[in-house]
Chains A and B, each alone.
Chain A
């Protein structure tokens, strides 16, 4: 039985609830049990900017709560994934672990290093597997050309991800897209960062990076970009609209979260189960190309 503590993070349940909705539905369909945890808080990634050990401490508290329940963690956000997994690495250092545990002790907690951190796509890839996913497909999306976007923290820092994939030439999300019947598009800016982490500090960097990605997608025949992180989603989707408005551009590239794409192939209800009506860029062309007779 695949059973995980669900780590929602801050942004998904507040701003991209279609990611949460579709992830929960896909997991249920494929027999992955998700346990909601009352004790989880922010993973601490941005506190690293102010004090690295404070960031690791917040991560350690979340990890300790998962450990206490005897569960591994399933994440949706790649940044949470990267920070929690990197913290697990940093907490292997005995001095760091002792300092962190001295603070956790005041809350009746101890970090022991037992809980693993796995992103939903990794769980789908490793626990279920591409072949078994493909066997479950009800609607072949073979008319769709889908560009993958991995998200920097899905595979980096490399030392924290135990050889899941090659960050320089990743393949696993390509394979997960193939599992739905869709064609995974290889493109020039595949590994380019979405700029989400610089957005609160510099919009200029973020807008430049989003446009560079969207421009290289326009040069390809692509039906949509599939992302696996709500921040990447917001940058390419909501900020695509902002760029159109502020910089007088006319980008029109649909952005899907991978569980939404998989959910479509598994026959999920586009609105009630996958939240596709909440996506910012219109999906009507995508549906027409996929041969799905529905407008939302």
Chain B
């Protein structure tokens, strides 16, 4: 069962475990649009010559609103749209002929839905009574008035608790009042809690899952226990209406003539005139839909502004501070304002990782069921934000990694128990900011990578491998195209087309990915992506006659050194002692082959940088300053350069390269 372990999940939240209320906005906006669409379609519809496409379109509106409403626990909306869906489905399949009163009813239903949704958004008062409307829609759709009454219901005992506030269980009774087709509920405990537990007898046709879904509106899922009551046999009699994907299920040809008769009734009972508009409740959105191009244009312009501001700041430094006091004060203000503007604009494109994570619980649940495994999904850091462009592109690689973990990582429950592990495997998805990057990890406690098998497979494919290769080198073989040690290719994974594509996709985003594993314990895949690419804080340094930029987020500290404090290890390694630690040293003039004409003073400054949890000391000539830097893409017109993550334009118009700290730090680890 894939679920997030998040104890105390609020009503209104899903098995997703995190707070869904943040997604209300999108749902309400789209529902509002959908309802508006539906209304205009209905208004324009010609009852005598309606096309399948029109009916389909209206059906889709009802369907999509129902989906969202069910997810968020808006029971009354869900019920009404469910009935509308039923009616519309029969219409679009030409099982029913469209008549005027159906159109009128649909329009009326649309109004009521708007009201209901407005209530959930907080505006409008009073709860419109939907029971009558629902009944009328049912009449038109099936010809049966409440086909559910009496027959074929099952009885269950529902125990709710432990409850801090026993009265919350009374909310369950409300549910049954609001949704007539749900069934009946009677308290078995005389309305009083026993040791914090309430017990009810429920007669319903709905499956347990659906009951729990609705109950979670009032009490937490984990607090509901449903057991059969007396194990009384379900009476099979009459058409049983299922609250599920039952379109066409309950169509009994015998009911059709009845539908005609009921329709006659409905025609006589004129629906309320549409002119009677509701009181209050406009679905106003406080969001704005803006095209991504406009936002990007805005970001570019802010970038240019930052460059100009940097140029002004630089020029201003040359002026006499006393004479140009006000000007200099203005330039300082400009710098501050530009920075705020830049931060605001960048945040427009940032979206929380939850958008990516929220699709996985469902996917994993289905996958686990298909593979016959027991897998729990944990997510950490869903609030971590990532640029919109990256979010969309990271979904595919992450999906693939998750499927791999589920398919190849986590073992079958029997195998896990045999190995002394809990039969339920855990996959953890986490996202966190680290310096100037975001680190996303997919961790599983499965079987881990099998070193021997990988080596064997590699030899089979003719790759150059040695038995003494380090673990890291062996894991790196996984990235080879076409590599797979899966015994069977399932449609889930195993074809071997995945991992190298994953790595390529991530590299295309400017990121990197690493594998780590312990046989028998699990595997961890770490994806590192740069945060926003456009503007960052940088420290400019001089090496020889050249200027380079270090991302300020990676700089820990800097100090002057004398060459004798740098020790050598082996033939090429150099370290420097910083307080209690010895840190590897990287001389930038060597890394970038900076020409030295011998007359300049040697490197005197050490800058300690941190990347991927490790620190390195960089040897530079001079620290030039700190300022905001507009990151320009080097690869747009050129190509990727090792050790360089981008370029920027300095105040004097020259180009300076931005150092890729992570790659420098990695060098020292080999």
Asked if A and B bind, the verdict is: no
Which A residues are within 8 Å of any B CB, using their own CB?
none
